[in-house]
Amino acid sequence: MKIRININGNWREDDVEPRLLLVHYLREVAGLTGTHIGCETSLCGACTVLLNGEAAKSCTILAVQADGAEVTTIEGLASNGHLHPLQQGFWEEHGLHCGFCTPGMIMASHQLLARNPHPTREEIRHALEGNLCRCTGYQHIIKAVEWAVEHGGR
Amino acid sequence: MATKILGERIKRKEDPELIQGRGHFVDDFKLDGMLHMAFARSPHGHAKIISINTEAARKAHGVAAVLTGEDIKGKLGFVPCAAGMEGLKVPDHPCLAMERVRYVGEPVAAVIATDRYLATDAANLIEVEYEMLPAVTDMEKAIEEGSPLVHESFGDNIAFTAKLEGGDWKSIEGDPSVKVLKQRLINQRLGPMAMETRGVIASYSPGEDTLTVWSSTQIPHILKTQLSLMTKIDEARCRVIAPEVGGAFGSKLNVYAEEGVACFASKMLGKPVKWIEGRRENLAVTIHGRDQINDLEIYYKPDGTVVGLKCRILADMGAYHQLLTPAIPTLTALMILGCYDIKNVAVETIGVFTNKMSTDAYRGAGRPEAAYIIERVIDMVAHELNMDPVDVRMRNFPPPGKDITLATGVSYDTANYQKTLKKVLKLSGYSKLRKEQQRLRKKGKYLGIGLSTYVEICAMGPSSRMPAGGWESGTVRVEVTGKVTVLSGASPHGQGEQTSFAQIVAEELGVPYDDITVYHGDTAQVPMGIGTFGSRTTAVGGTAIFYAAQRVKKKMARIAAHKLGVKPGELVFEDGKIHTRDGSKSIAFKAVAEEAYFARELPPGMEPGLSEMYVFEPPNYTYPFGAHVAVTEVDEKTGEVKLRNYFAVDDCGRILNPMLVDGQVHGGIAQGVGQALVESLIYDENGQLLTGSLMDYAIPRATLFPWFECANTETRTPVNPLGVKGVGEAGTIGSTPAIVNAVVDALSPLGVRHIDMPLKPEKIWNILKQAAPGGQA
């Protein structure tokens, strides 16, 4: 099936199998491997991207369902060589160890700050409940989001 | 003035690529002509394979090959076990099952196809006829006479029996003041659950006869040796690369069947073969952790002195040994006395085969079990004697000092357990908490305060006591331009040693941190190495780098001295310069680097070049320790446990980067809390894995935790010149018993002495219900 998707500001057209998952499309077809696959069941959040501005788990969406949509991946977050405040926050506050969950964490945090620019710690924990991290114990991730809030938010 | 860098909070070198999605994990690599592999796996815990029909799979679209046990027989070696102990039974462990399957998920056939979807489609077409055999999943049943046998040829299910005894048991025999308490503790099976599942790409080049393997591993060098032995490809022609590795926690400290099959298939087909594990596979067929039954006899005196500890450890091996499976519970025995000077000890460890996935190293690897045992023991003694658990701990600690040898024969490098305990009591406001607890108890509320004062064995380790060498290599190479390349044989995967290693070298050579690049994980680039596990990377690998930097420094000082007409001993390395102490003579670091390679005015007889390797052999392990306090609330209506506060004081020796230490401690605490409260891998009696997906196996989420309040003490170790002990596993070892002690403490007014993990609401609810007036006791 032919699909047309805007990824990080650029439209592209591809002919894909109907069963191709969006995450595989992004990684294998578009070559953007920053979006990771942790479970293929929407439970871990590693594959979180923005679909028309909303955080979505790309492992349980078919690529064809994203036809006509705008997708933002972790690769599209920095602009003009400047890190996004969330990316910078994760760096400043040691919000990652192995970095595998990080793209999903950052995209989910992006969604949170879009809805709630000044979240409490409890609200950050709640917003990231759909994203698993096995390394950090989450505390430095919360500090990373707080850093982003203090430095220009989303 | 030189900028101080060692010991400072420095941002990580690892992060820029990872926060932009530019890091490369195994699944991110695409090679020309690459094929994809999928497995058909056993749906049964124990069965005889009658026949395998691969015809439909072979004919399926895109399929390049289908492999079964028959295809690899005699051609691909067994999955290796490096652990060796007297009388250990080591079953043959083929990469694809032959004749029998012994656990759910055991690989039976592999399909290699042009695309991962097609490989999976074809794997589903493989028809296997099985004859069901009785399975055994309960360790106690497995050691009974007449139990179904996991490996018939062994005659029983006992993999090994090991004894550790120390002290003089006769000295307490017949002492009327000594009381005895018996208790069984169950340390449940867990899934390590790195966020990146396992994955491998094997690429055999027929022309060159070389094998290159990208694997999500903690041990690229060991993996290279083992894959060479398994595939019979000359080791000098094998290369293993551990790219970015998305967490491991011990689960990638292994050599797995799938890695062997990928290499075999690539050699057979002359094309790269990729296999990426799915999450359900990860739960079923990546090694599991823990799974012990501990039967305890605790000997103690009315003043709280614990005078003896006996323990029978039943340790579940699973169906086969992976790399270190049988070695793990021996660490439990070794560390069973924790940080207490208990004069008499007797431990019998029995490794048991069952129809389950193998256990092996999972964060802490045998030591969390030991810490759990001894920290529960101390609290149970406190409970029996109606003493404060702080007092029982203080009474049994050895005095602060060096080389403290316990009845187990273990000699702790440096210790000051009193200091960490006092510090955490202050940090947590312990006495205030106890008062609050008293007030709440009067209102019928269950507030629990749990302590844990753990010690662990780290920086693994002296080669004489390791299965395959315990040293680590470090290379420091100053390039012609004065930039510095650092190579480590360790293989960190999230711990942040690119950062701490660069700090070590920047401090030693007096060059900017940004001028240093650290590489690890590629056996072609790093000449030799062991890997990252057992909290060894900084203490052993960092020390190797420290000594290599000193060697480079020595050579540079000789070159600089020759050029400046001074003695090498007069020179200081600072701010990119090499100068005399009084500053009168100076030369740029870069100029000396250039001279080393251009070699025009080298001191007579000196070899050109500026690269030094050092292989550090640690003289002993290190023994980090700490004191944790958990505060829990138990909801009297639902039985839900809420972790309200968590305080941790850890002593990992000298701290090179406090940010990294905090990160390790937080992550460790979270995993330990996971075991205490929510995690459990459960098999039914037929060997079916009942918790085989993330829907059924609970991984702690952000909402499970309070804000961790952490602090440190720094008791340096003399085992290495950096004074560092290691911190990778500390939090996990310390937190599990603190949580359980807190919940038992909360419920102690109901007469509760122990509750087995995980402390899920239904379990607690039942206890509350039975204790309630009119409840069913």
Quick check: B695 and A41 CB within 8 A?
A: yes
DSSP A94-106: T--SS-SSHHHHH
Mean pLDDT in chain B?
97
Nearest-angstrom CA–CA distance, A145 and B739: 28
Domain range A85-150, its CATH number among 1.10.10.10, 3.40.50.2300, 1.10.150.120, 3.40.50.11690? 1.10.150.120
Nearest-angstrom CA–CA distance, B601 and B585: 18
Q: Do B542 and B569 fall into the same domain?
A: yes
Residues B334, B339, B343: CA angle, nearest 5 degrees: 70
Q: What is the pLDDT of residue A81?
A: 87
Q: How far is CA B429 from the centre of its chain?
A: 32
DSSP three-state, residue A48: strand
Q: What is the pTM of this model?
A: 0.97
- CB nearest A96 (choices: B19, B196, B707): B19
Are B497 and B490 in contact by the 8 Å Cβ rule? The answer is yes
Q: Do B491 and B595 fall into the same domain?
A: yes
Q: Do B415 and B486 fall into the same domain?
A: no
Q: Tokens for B443, please give them.
A: 């209102």
Which residue, chain included where needed, has tokens 């080591």? B90
DSSP three-state, residue A18: coil
Q: pLDDT per residue over B227-275, tens digit each? A: 999 999 999 999 999 999 999 999 999 999 999 999 999 999 999 999 9
Q: pLDDT per residue over B459-500, tens digit each? A: 998 999 998 899 999 999 999 999 999 999 999 999 999 999
Question: In B, which residues are within 8 Å of A129 by CB distance?
Answer: 701-703
Nearest-angstrom CA–CA distance, B512 and B47: 62
B282: part of which helix (H) or strand (E)? helix B279-285
Question: Which whole-number Å values give the CA distances from B415 to B77, B167, B455, in the listed order?
Answer: 45, 21, 9
**Percent of chain B surpassing pLDDT 70:** 99
Q: Do B316 and B447 fall into the same domain?
A: yes
Band (pLDDT 50/70/90 cuts) for residue B777 is: very low
Nearest-angstrom CA–CA distance, B79 and B92: 8
Quick check: B249 and A78 CB within 8 A?
A: no
DSSP three-state, residue B464: helix
Q: What is the pLDDT of residue B102?
A: 98
Quick check: B694 and A103 CB within 8 A?
A: no
Nearest-angstrom CA–CA distance, B511 and B3: 10
Cross-strand pairs, B298: B181, B309
Q: For chain A, percent helix, then strand, then coil, each to nearest 5?
A: 40, 20, 45
Residue ranges, CATH 3.10.20.30, chain A: 2-74
Q: What is the pLDDT of residue A108?
A: 98
Q: Do B113 and B219 fall into the same domain?
A: yes
Q: Which residues contact B96 (CB under 8 A, 6 or more apart)?
A: B67, B68, B69, B71, B72, B107, B108, B109, B110, B257, B261
Q: pLDDT per residue over B649-706, tens digit each? A: 999 999 999 999 999 999 999 999 999 999 999 999 999 999 999 999 999 999 999 9
Q: What is the CA radius of gyration of chain A?
A: 15
Quick check: B27 and A27 CB within 8 A?
A: yes
Q: What is the pLDDT of residue B1?
A: 43
Q: Tokens for B348, please give them.
A: 């019998």
Which residue, chain included where needed, has tokens 């891998």? B681
How many domains in chain B? Answer: 3
Quick check: B495 and A97 CB within 8 A?
A: yes
Question: In A, which residues are within 8 Å of B729 by CB distance?
Answer: none
Q: Do B626 and B655 fall into the same domain?
A: yes
Band (pLDDT 50/70/90 cuts) for residue B774 is: low
Look at strands B577-580 and B586-588 and give their pairing: antiparallel
Q: pLDDT at residue B581 above 90?
A: yes
Residue in chain B closest to A39 (alpha carbons) equals B279
- For an interface test with B, give the residue of A20, A27, A134 to mutate (most B CBs within 10 A): A134
Q: pLDDT at residue A26 above 60?
A: yes
Nearest-angstrom CA–CA distance, B481 and B479: 5
Q: Is residue B142 part of a domain?
A: no
Following CA atoms A113, A115, A121, A122 in sequence, which dihedral angle do they give, to the nearest 10 degrees?
Answer: -150
Q: Do B665 and B539 fall into the same domain?
A: no
- CB nearest B11 (choices: A91, A98, A137): A91
Q: Average pLDDT for residues B139-159, to the nearest whole number?
A: 98
Nearest-angstrom CA–CA distance, B522 and B289: 27
Q: Which of B238, B265, B285 is the last residue of a domain?
A: B285
Q: Which residues contact A109 (CB under 8 A, 6 or more apart)?
A: A86, A124, A127, A128, A141, A144, A145, A148
- CB nearest A99 (choices: B23, B693, B707): B23
Q: Is residue B153 part of a domain?
A: no
Q: pLDDT at residue B776 above 90?
A: no
Show the DSSP H helices in B286-407 as ranges.
328-334, 367-385, 389-396
Q: Do B380 and B482 fall into the same domain?
A: no
Look at strands B158-166 and B344-353 and give their pairing: antiparallel
DSSP three-state, residue B152: helix
Nearest-angstrom CA–CA distance, B390 and B372: 16
Q: pLDDT at residue B3 above 70?
A: no
Q: Tokens for B275, please give them.
A: 């296999």
Q: Tokens for B627, please give them.
A: 């004191």
Q: pLDDT at residue B762 above 50?
A: yes
Structural domain of residue B736, as residue ranges? 289-458+621-771
Which residue, chain included where needed, has tokens 């605790």? B298
Q: Tokens for B707, please give them.
A: 């804000």
Quick check: B20 and A135 CB within 8 A?
A: no
- CB nearest B279 (choices: A38, A75, A90): A38
Q: Do B626 and B757 fall into the same domain?
A: yes
B557: part of which helix (H) or strand (E)? helix B543-564
Q: Average pLDDT for residues B320-329, to the nearest whole number?
A: 98
Q: What is the pLDDT of residue B347?
A: 98
Q: What is the CA radius of gyration of chain B?
A: 28
Q: Do B116 and B264 fall into the same domain?
A: yes
Which residue, chain included where needed, has tokens 């999928």? B38
Sheet holding A10-15, edge to edge: A10-15, A2-7, A70-72, A48-51, A54-57
Q: Is B474 exposed, middle or buried (0-12, 13-18, 19+ CB in 10 A)?
A: buried
Question: Which whole-number Å values give the CA distances from B460 to B116, B530, B616, B618, in the listed order?
Answer: 39, 10, 12, 8
- What distance in Å separates residue A4's CA from the closest CA in chain B? 22
Q: How far is CA B333 from the centre of its chain?
A: 17
Q: What is the pLDDT of residue B775?
A: 52
User: What is the domain class of A2-74 according to CATH?
Assistant: alpha beta
Nearest-angstrom CA–CA distance, B667 and B732: 8
Which residue, chain included where needed, has tokens 């990252």? B532
Question: Which whole-number Å values give the CA distances from B28 to A97, B31, B212, in the listed order?
Answer: 18, 10, 16
Q: Do B120 and B85 fall into the same domain?
A: yes
Quick check: A138 and B693 CB within 8 A?
A: no
Q: What number of residues does chain A have?
A: 154
DSSP annotation of B235 reads G
Residues B571, B572, B575: CA angle, nearest 5 degrees: 140
Q: Which amino acid, B94?
A: P
Q: Is residue B16 part of a domain?
A: no
DSSP B114-151: SSHHHHHHHHTT-EEEEEE------HHHHTSTTPPPSS
Q: Do B265 and B127 fall into the same domain?
A: yes
Q: Is residue B687 part of a domain?
A: yes
Q: Which residues contact B386 (CB under 8 A, 6 or more apart)?
A: none
Quick check: A77 and B20 CB within 8 A?
A: yes
Question: In B, which residues are within 8 Å of A97 by CB distance?
Answer: 247, 494-496, 663, 667
Band (pLDDT 50/70/90 cuts) for residue B2 is: low
Nearest-angstrom CA–CA distance, B589 and B574: 9
Residue in chain B closest to A124 (alpha carbons) equals B702
Q: Average pLDDT for residues B10-35, to the nearest whole number?
A: 97
Q: Which of B616, B648, B676 is the last residue of a domain?
A: B616
Residue ranges, CATH 1.10.150.120, chain A: 85-150
Q: pLDDT per residue over B589-613, tens digit each? A: 999 999 999 999 999 999 999 999 9
Quick check: A129 and B249 CB within 8 A?
A: no
- What distance in Å separates residue B216's CA from the closest CA in chain A? 12
- For an interface test with A, give the residue of B29, B118, B195 to mutate (most A CBs within 10 A): B195
Q: pLDDT per residue over B395-419, tens digit each? A: 999 999 999 999 999 999 999 999 9
Q: Is residue B708 part of a domain?
A: yes
Residue in chain B closest to A73 (alpha carbons) equals B21
Q: Which amino acid, A2?
A: K
Burial B73-96 (b: 16+ CB within 10 A, else e): eeebbbbbbbbeeeebbbbebbbb
Residues A32, A37, A43: CA angle, nearest 5 degrees: 135
- CB nearest B195 (choices: A73, A101, A142): A101
Q: pLDDT per residue over B104-118, tens digit each? A: 999 999 999 999 999
Q: Is residue B361 part of a domain?
A: yes
ipTM of the complex as predicted: 0.98
Q: pLDDT per residue over A90-104, tens digit each? A: 999 999 999 999 999
Q: Is residue B169 part of a domain?
A: no
Quick check: A134 and B663 CB within 8 A?
A: no
Higher pLDDT, A153 or B735: B735
Q: Is residue B187 part of a domain?
A: no
